[in-house]
A and B are shown apart, each in its own frame.
Chain A
Amino acid sequence: MQLAQSIFPRRDSGTASLQLDFPELRAEVRDFVSRETVGGAIRPGRQSWTTYDRAFSRRCAERGYIAMTWPRKYSGHERNAYERYVVCEELLAAGAPLGSHWIADRQSGPQILRNGRESLRRRILPRIASGDCTFGIGMSEPDSGSDLSSIRTKATHVDGGWRIEGRKVWTTNAQHADYLIVLCRTEPRSDNRYAGLSQIVAPLDAKGVSVRPIVNIAGEEEFNEVVFDGSFAPDDHLLGEGGDGWKLVTEELAFERSGPDRILSTFGVLAALVQAAGPTPDSLTVGELGRLTTRMTAIRQLSLTIARRLVDGVPTAGLATIMKELGTSLEQNIPETARRLIGQMPSEDGDVLSASLANAILHAPCFSLRGGTREILKGIISRELGLR
């Protein structure tokens, strides 16, 4: 079976460790996390990695935690992907507010690095690296969620650039974003539903762009609707060749699905449960926490396996899809288990455990929706298995 081959027994030469061994870097990030917690930017249980905090992102940038693996010529730090992984998982586990730079660092920047023109890279990448630039994901539309290739936003070539018309929705942090990478139709629809699409980096401060926040059930204004009413993007904002948007968006989704942010969204609840259980937990608690902690450990091993493959340039195929599915299920199981173990009513006004749990329960439905619904992911896995 293609998917699991060469995970065990190992098909590589087997010399490189599967674990991450960067104790100094970890200690450094933990020190940063402590100071930011004392300083109030990190509020355990009361925010998540989608929370926007531009100043915090700038401080991350100052320490070199953004654009870690990018080339120096774009203000990157040319560190290796394992070091980036260590920094990311430490910040995610601490519940740091990464919303201002996370999408840019995780996917938009890499997308521009791989597929953008040099003039675009030089203008935008350093701003992401300095923590001064927020990106949003311009994929979903009101009539196109899982069925992404049915999008109708279109871009017409005009003198010097593109004129964009359409509507994107569920765009996280668009109200703060400087740019959206917009999947749009640049050629009329043909029999091939995947042809004629392109990705364009759309400036949100352009005339004709309006952003309307949409309040979620947790009462937050995090996602948005963005209307492009004939707004302009310069020529060099086109990614790739034009017409290759489906291939590009598939690559971008692979970046989006492969990181530790798909396992750790509710880690704070689990950590709080373990702490509350104390050194001599009762047997009910032991049983429940045992399932969750062993699951977390196993899924992290899968995440490390994927990180290794990305570094080695080995195809990850369906592994990232599987990890996202398993990871988000775990993220949802954690608050579900917590509510069976703790006696108090979860409330955002309560103590850290109560607030973390309230936060987790309110957000849990979106874990298996964002970045590809569970049902779509299972369909992708089925295709990888050769069933479809």
Chain B
Amino acid sequence: MSDTARMLDETVDRLLRKMLADGGVARNSAQLRDALAKAAGEAGLALALVPESQGGMGASLHDAGAIAWRWGYHAAPYPVAETMLAAAAGALAGLGESELGATLAAPARVGEKFMAPATSESCELFALAEAGTSHEALLTCDRAVVRSFRALSGETWFEFGANSQTASRPLPVGSVARLKMQGALLTAAAIAGATARIVEMTVEHANTRVQFGRPLGKFQAVQNLIADAAAEQVLCQAALAGAIDAFDRGVPEQRLTWAAKAQAGRAATVVSAAAHQTLGAIGFTEEHVLGAYTRRLWVWRDHWGRQSECEQLAARAACGDVRGLWRHLVDPQSSAEGASA
């Protein structure tokens, strides 16, 4: 690991072990979320993707991904990825550090609402005006006209339309496409971390829970279930590593990003199902920590790149590539494709 990634991973791991150790504080409480917000703020995590020249860490996407991975590994109830993206977007729009703690909504299709996880009750809301419109912009939105709702994870999210914007700041050309890729890959990293922990938990349970005189893990049906989950998890990590590597090398590949996000979505589903199946009724309780993971996975798999949408975009790009499928898959993205949609 690069020194930065190792340092960030250790910092986040230590921070989260400490903050999540207290079983007395309910996991989905605003209290815990605010405590995590404070800790994340003190560690300056939101600044990961802000250039050093603008007071940030200037970290690579890999290193920011290490933060997201470890955050997902602990299923910590605070949208750290969105804070990194919001700060990065803010920096691109020329905003200063006062926007730390803002959240960023993923781009919405025309007519659909923006949605973003709340970093606090009163957080700043940003959204991206879609790439391909007449200009790329970072929108600030009026919280007074948003609807708050509970996502599957139990966390508070905000939903708002483009008409709720109170300010619009131009972004350099290509920013929205870039932020979309970063959003997809940071979310995929969170999924990778969460599914890694779930597989560990599932193996542990299968090795300790005894029925019919032997551990569950001795039954082939259970072994196959967990083996399938582990395979999807490994694949998720490999696809993610490839996409992030291309991005950090300055040659981001849409194809790799869509595949990484789609695979992360698949892994989220398969791993969650296998874990619940193995852990039985006890895993289906609010008291057991498994639900904290799976409920987040059920949100992340379709955020910053709905799984089905990533698949469809990938298919359209493949079908539209005159070079044929093989070259589309292994040669560098053709200039005709660009960082589209």
Contacts and interface: CB of A to CB of B under 8 A. Distances in A.
Interface in B210-230: 217-218, 220, 222-224, 226-228, 230
A94 B324 CA distance: 12
A239 interface: no
A7 B203 CA distance: 20
Contacts of B5: 9-10, 14
A287 B234 contact: no
B159 interface: no
B329 A281 contact: no
B320 A385 contact: no
Contacts of A302: 234-235, 238-239
B319 A386 contact: no
A285 B226 contact: no
Contact of A319 (B192, B234, B314): B234
B249 A17 contact: yes
Given A17-B245, A294-B258, A322-B231, A271 B239 contact: no
Interface residues of B, number: 67
Interface stretch (A170-178, A186-194, A211-219, A272-280): A272-280
Nearest to A279: B320
A322 B235 contact: yes
Interface size class of A (residues with CB under 8 A): 35 or more
A289 B318 contact: yes
Interface stretch (B35-43, B61-69, B88-96): B61-69
Contacts, number: 201
B196 A1 contact: yes
B287 interface: no
Contacts of A271: 324-326
Contact of A8 (B240, B246, B312): B240
Given A294-B259, A378-B223, A8 B203 contact: no
Contacts of A8: 65, 69, 189, 192, 237-238, 240-241, 244
Given A9-B69, A302-B238, A322-B234, A293 B315 contact: yes
Contacts of A274: 318-319, 324-325
A298 B311 contact: no
A325 B231 contact: yes
A4 B236 CA distance: 9
Contact of B9 (A9, A281, A295): A9
A201 B224 CA distance: 36
B76 interface: no
Contacts of B320: 279
Contact of B223 (A296, A301, A319, A387): A387
A381 B230 contact: yes
A270 B234 CA distance: 24
B242 A287 contact: no
B263 A294 contact: yes
Interface in B282-326: 308, 310-316, 318-320, 324-326
A388 B206 CA distance: 10
Contact of A11 (B1, B63, B196, B308): B1
Contacts of A300: 329-330
Contacts of B255: 297
A279 B320 CA distance: 5
Contacts of B128: none
Nearest to B253: A19
A107 B107 CA distance: 49
Interface in A1-54: 1, 3-4, 6-14, 17-20, 26
A299 interface: yes
A294 B238 contact: no
Contacts of A285: 315, 319
B260 interface: yes
Interface in A303-326: 304-305, 319, 322, 325-326
A267 interface: yes
17 contacts: A4-B233, A11-B1, A19-B246, A26-B330, A274-B325, A275-B325, A285-B315, A287-B312, A288-B315, A289-B315, A293-B315, A294-B311, A297-B329, A302-B234, A382-B226, A386-B203, A386-B207
The 8 closest A-B pairs by CB, nearest first: A290-B311, A290-B315, A297-B259, A301-B242, A298-B239, A382-B223, A302-B238, A387-B217
Interface of B: 1-2, 5, 9, 62-63, 65-66, 69, 189, 192, 196, 199-200, 203, 206-207, 217-218, 220, 222-224, 226-228, 230-231, 233-246, 249, 255-256, 258-260, 262-263, 308, 310-316, 318-320, 324-326, 329-331
Given A297-B239, A297-B259, A387-B206, 10 more contacts: A8-B69, A8-B244, A9-B69, A271-B325, A278-B319, A281-B319, A295-B259, A301-B239, A387-B203, A388-B218
